[in-house]
Amino acid sequence: MSTTNYLTCSKGWKSWFLTLDHKRIGVMYLTAVLSSFALGGLFALAVRLELFQPGQQFMDPTTYNRMFTLHGAVMVFLFIIPSIPAAFGNFVLPIMLGAQDVAFPRLNLASFYLWMAGAVFFLVSLLGGGIETGWTFYTPYSTTTADSSVVSALMGVFVLGFSSIFTGMNFIVTIHQMRPKGMTWFKMPLFLWAIYGTALIQVLATPVLGITGLLLIVERVAHIGVFDPALGGDPVLFQHFFWFYSHPAVYIMILPAMGIVSELIAAGSRKEIFGYRFIAFSSIAIAILGFLVWGHHMFTSGQSVAASVVFSALTFTVAIPSAIKVFNWLSTMYKGAIVLNTPMCYGLSFISLFGIGGLTGLFLGTLSVDIHLHDTYFIVAHFHYVMMGSTAVAFMGGLHYWWPKMFGKMYNEALARVCCLFVFIGFNLTFLPQFVLGTRGMPRRYFDYPERFQFLHQLSTIGAVMLFITFFVMFSYLLHSLVRGKPAPMNPWGANTNEWKCSSPPPFNNFDVPPPMENPYDHTNLVFDEKLGGYRAKQVINS
Amino acid sequence: MSNNHHNENDHGGHPSFLAHHFSSPQQQYDAGKLGIWLFLVTEVLFFSGLFCAYAVYRFNHPEIFRYAHFFLDTTMGAINTVVLILSSLTIAWAVRAVQLNQRRLAVGMLVVTLLCAAAFMVIKYIEYTHKFHMGLTWGESFAPSAEALREVLGEAHGEVLEKPANLHLFFSIYFCMTGLHGIHVLAGIGVIIWMIVRTARGDFSSEYFGPVEYTALYWHIVDLVWIFLFPLLYLID
Ligand SMILES: [Cu+2]
């Protein structure tokens, strides 16, 4: 074990803010996206509290519109999209490969600063009065009727898009070119397959968001008329452009989460992952199919029936690779020696919440049903099951899984498991009632509602408060562990991927000699060692 | 930056141009090449939004495009096309020269490329000012002068054209597409200047020429976009 690690090898603010080390950049991203998560969470809490009773509680309708818009925009663009790839991907990708860094360390740092610039634009738009268009920036709200700082928010989206593109480019090149000898494609951990699929989408879809944002800015500032029917333009064209990115973006959010879950389930089941190649290729299949289904957002926008039928059929095909993953995870657990540590609890939580989120997507992909459910709370519940119940839960799972590696400290395991349970309960309490609200006709984004919906809205708000308290406790024990936590062993979960073969935290160089490239899911050679508090290789005598 | 050289001693045999995390010049070159190709893919997709908008409006309103293209100066557009094709040749020549260690020739070719890029922008500037002068601008601000309308009828060679509604949409698209392309030319000018400086001071050789080649690839894509823009905007019939 080396005496210094990447956290202690150099000091001073410059050594962080000008660092080219992928691990430090990962940690900076982690801090940044967690702050955004907290900010977006506060907006969500404000929305839920306002909806506790019918009528106005403590904010007027315009403020309410701004709150849900900021909640959506901050959560999507500042938190979920960068979260797993930029924070955990940056940290573990080179180490999992056995490489020293990503292919373009300077570009990596530049993407982080682009993220910061995007966040500044969002803050400017927040201080400039907020935005009330909804996170989708639909015309004519964004071009004509919204009376607020839409332009700076769009600038933020544009810049954040490029941050995401550069991260994706970096990861694709790293996976193609930086694999050391012996690290073949099929020895890569499944998290990397997921990150690779994600990077493909980031590179191939995000530029379209960039140009859409620019056109919208030009439309709003110079009134060019491309999206404005008063000038002969077509507002539905905007929806096509927007969803051409924003549907694949859903897979930018969920694919890396699935990658994490593959790692959590394999390590927690103490068994080799079942159907490695199926899981790997299903990531790529999801990435490709994700480009062909954007029209399912426009079933009620005057799109032709023929187009809707095709988009509907293609939408169902996405269920195939998603189900392949779920069945393989379940088969991995079958006859495994399941250890219910915190990461595994999050993995299990993900599978059940993603199950609900995915299956309710089928209702929405069905044309006749979607006519009724479109723009109701049903869809709000559906995408929260996918984005929060799945992605954010997997993110928390990854956070607990890699935390000991990143900071070399263990958190309070018992408290962490209790929090995981409360995230699960609080989440379901918040969003299950919303499915019912939606099927009973409660439209999304409304400020007010009739008396008969009150009970379900109140359940939802209580769930949101519960989530808020749980996350507060979670951040407290995580921060506490940095100061008072037990030192983490090299391999606390008994996983065989490469990041567990270097010290916790890793040395600056990751590896002085590249580790042996083995089957990443072969756990047979690892035994738990009470003295270490973690796993070690069987034949090595503890020194 | 300090981290970059942190472990310099571990790699005693590395040439100075090789970054510490690569194991060989070949790996560094391949990584850069794949990186620039991916970047070019994103550039194509970035423009594709505008090409898509063009296709939608041209399909739905062919009469706007037919009428409006008479306002554009085909000669200016053609000269610019030739200028850009020439610059693509010279920058490719510069790459070849660097690979053969012909530093002076490489600098010369890069300077010619730079002059072509500048000429393109000057001609574009003349075209733009003429359009502004005639009131041929985008969207709401579109207000063609009588002179401009007369010019179109002259161009149409006696063919009587009825002025279609929403003519401004053509100019919205024209200014978006050529404007975005122009920004890419300006960015290219910046990068080419940087490459001239680096080539002149001897950073590159037959061992290490990646950055010049990546710049050339970028410049080719800028050229290629224009080769599509020229017929789509100027040569409608
Ligand atoms: Cu979608």
User: How far does the centroid of ligand 1 lie from the alpha carbon of residue A10, in Å?
Assistant: 45
Domains annotated for chain A, with CATH where assigned, are 27-542 (1.20.210.10)
Please name the residue of chain B whose CA is at the shortest distance from the CA of residue A6.
B3
Residue B79: CB atoms within 10 Å? 14
Please tell me if residue B51 touches chain A, with a CB cutoff of 8 Å.
no
At what angle are helices A454-484 and A22-50 packed, to 10 degrees?
150
Please tell me if residue A21 touches chain B, with a CB cutoff of 8 Å.
yes
B7, part of any domain: no
Chain B environment of A242 (Cβ under 8 Å): none
Domain that holds residue B227: 25-234
Cβ distance of B34 and A234 shorter than 8 Å = no
* Residue A140 burial by Cβ neighbours in a 10 Å radius (0-12, 13-18, 19+): middle
**How far is CA A372 from each of CA A153, A183, A310, A361, A380, rounded to the nearest angstrom?**
32, 50, 19, 14, 14
B55, part of any domain: yes
Cβ distance of B30 and A10 shorter than 8 Å = no
Give pLDDT, residue B56: 94
Quick: pLDDT tens for A469-527: 999 999 999 999 999 999 999 999 999 999 999 988 999 988 877 888 889 999 888 88
Please tell me if residue B178 touches chain A, with a CB cutoff of 8 Å.
no
Cβ distance of B3 and A226 shorter than 8 Å = no
| Overall number of domains in chain B | 1
Cβ pair A396, A346 in contact under 8 A: yes
Distance CA B55, CA B47 (A): 12
Distance CA A463, CA A470 (A): 10
CA of B165 to nearest chain A CA: how many angstroms apart? 8
B129, part of any domain: yes
Q: What residues have CB less than 8 Å from A220, skipping those under 6 apart? A: A142, A143, A150, A151, A154
Cβ distance of A203 and B21 shorter than 8 Å = no
Please tell me if residue A9 touches chain B, with a CB cutoff of 8 Å.
yes
3-state secondary structure A62-111: HHHHHHHHHHHHHHHHHHHHHHHHHHHHHHHHHHHHCCCCCCCHHHHHHH
Please name the residue of chain A whose CA is at the shortest distance from the CA of residue B40.
A203
Share of chain B above pLDDT 70, in %: 92
**How far is CA A281 from each of CA A94, A170, A188, B111, rounded to the nearest angstrom?**
21, 21, 12, 48
CA of B6 to nearest chain A CA: how many angstroms apart? 9
Position B224 pLDDT exceeds 60 = yes
Residue A513: CB atoms within 10 Å? 6
Cβ pair A286, A252 in contact under 8 A: no
User: How far does the centroid of ligand 1 lie from the alpha carbon of residue A311, in Å?
Assistant: 10
CA of A216 to nearest chain B CA: how many angstroms apart? 12
Distance CA A331, CA A413 (A): 26
Interface of A with B in 80-109 (CB under 8 A): 99-101, 103-105, 107
Cis peptide before A140 (omega within 30 of 0): yes
User: How far does the centroid of ligand 1 lie from the alpha carbon of residue A18, in Å?
Assistant: 38
3-state secondary structure A360-429: HHHHHHCHHHHHHHCCEHHHHHHHHHHHHHHHHHHHHHHHHHHHHHHHCEECCHHHHHHHHHHHHHHHHH
Q: What residues have CB less than 8 Å from B228, skipping those under 6 apart? A: B51
Give pLDDT, residue B158: 65
Band of pLDDT at residue B4, cut at 50, 70 and 90? very low
The two structure tokens encoding residue A313: 């059929």
Chain A environment of B52 (Cβ under 8 Å): 241
CA of B104 to nearest chain A CA: how many angstroms apart? 30
Scored b (16 or more CB within 10 A) or e, B146-170 reads: eebeebbeeeeeeeeeeebebbbbb
The two structure tokens encoding residue A362: 């089928």
Q: What residues have CB less than 8 Å from A495, skipping those under 6 apart? A: A263, A266, A267, A520, A523
Preferred mutation among A7, A18, A20 to probe B, highest tally of B CBs within 10 A: A20
Residue A16 CB-half CA count within 13 A: 10
Give pLDDT, residue B13: 60
Q: What residues have CB less than 8 Å from B28, skipping those under 6 apart? A: B18, B19, B22, B210
Pick the closest to residue A138 from A65, A202, A205, A78 (CA basis). Answer: A65
Question: Mean pLDDT across chain B, nearest whole number?
Answer: 89
Chain A environment of B43 (Cβ under 8 Å): 207
B174, part of any domain: yes
Chain A environment of B31 (Cβ under 8 Å): 103-104, 173, 177-178
User: How far does the centroid of ligand 1 lie from the alpha carbon of residue A316, in Å?
Assistant: 11
User: How far does the centroid of ligand 1 lie from the alpha carbon of residue A359, in Å?
Assistant: 14
- Tell me which of B110 and B71 has the higher pLDDT: B110
Give pLDDT, residue B144: 87
- Tell me which of A146 and B111 has the higher pLDDT: B111
Chain B environment of A178 (Cβ under 8 Å): 21, 27, 31
Quick: pLDDT tens for B56-82: 999 999 999 988 888 899 999 999 999
Nearest CB partner across the interface for A173, out of B23, B31, B180:
B31
Q: Would you call B149 helix, strand, or coil by DSSP?
A: helix
Cβ distance of B140 and A225 shorter than 8 Å = yes
Interface of B with A in 126-145 (CB under 8 A): 138-141
Chain A environment of B11 (Cβ under 8 Å): none
Position B19 pLDDT exceeds 50 = yes
Distance CA B18, CA B26 (A): 10
Element (H, E) at A487: strand A486-487
Interface of A with B in 48-87 (CB under 8 A): none
Domain with B118 in it: what CATH number? 1.20.120.80
Please name the residue of chain B whose CA is at the shortest distance from the CA of residue A101.
B21
How confident is chain A (543 residues) per 10-residue block, as mean pLDDT? 77 89 96 96 96 93 93 95 95 94 95 97 89 89 82 94 96 95 93 96 95 94 90 92 94 95 95 94 94 93 92 94 95 93 96 95 93 94 96 97 95 96 97 96 94 95 97 96 93 93 90 86 89 82 51
B199, part of any domain: yes
**How far is CA A37 from each of CA A168, A175, A197, B130, B186, rounded to the nearest angstrom?**
21, 29, 24, 51, 38
CB contacts < 8 A (A, B): 130
Distance CA A236, CA A241 (A): 9
Nearest CB partner across the interface for B45, out of A15, A173, A208:
A208
Residues facing residue A527 across a β-bridge: A536
Give pLDDT, residue B7: 40
- Tell me which of B35 and A529 has the higher pLDDT: B35
Give pLDDT, residue B2: 37
Scored b (16 or more CB within 10 A) or e, B49-65 reads: bbbbbbebbbeebeebb
Position B161 pLDDT exceeds 90 = no
Counted residue by residue, chain A has a size of: 543
Q: What residues have CB less than 8 Å from A185, skipping those under 6 apart? A: none
Chain A environment of B24 (Cβ under 8 Å): none
CA of A242 to nearest chain B CA: how many angstroms apart? 10
Give pLDDT, residue B149: 82
Quick: pLDDT tens for A192-221: 999 999 999 999 999 999 999 999 999 999
Give pLDDT, residue B6: 41
Give pLDDT, residue A129: 82
User: How far does the centroid of ligand 1 lie from the alpha carbon of residue B91, in Å?
Assistant: 43
**How far is CA A497 from each of CA A91, A186, A529, rounded to the nearest angstrom?**
14, 13, 18
Cβ pair B203, B159 in contact under 8 A: no
Cβ distance of A101 and B21 shorter than 8 Å = yes
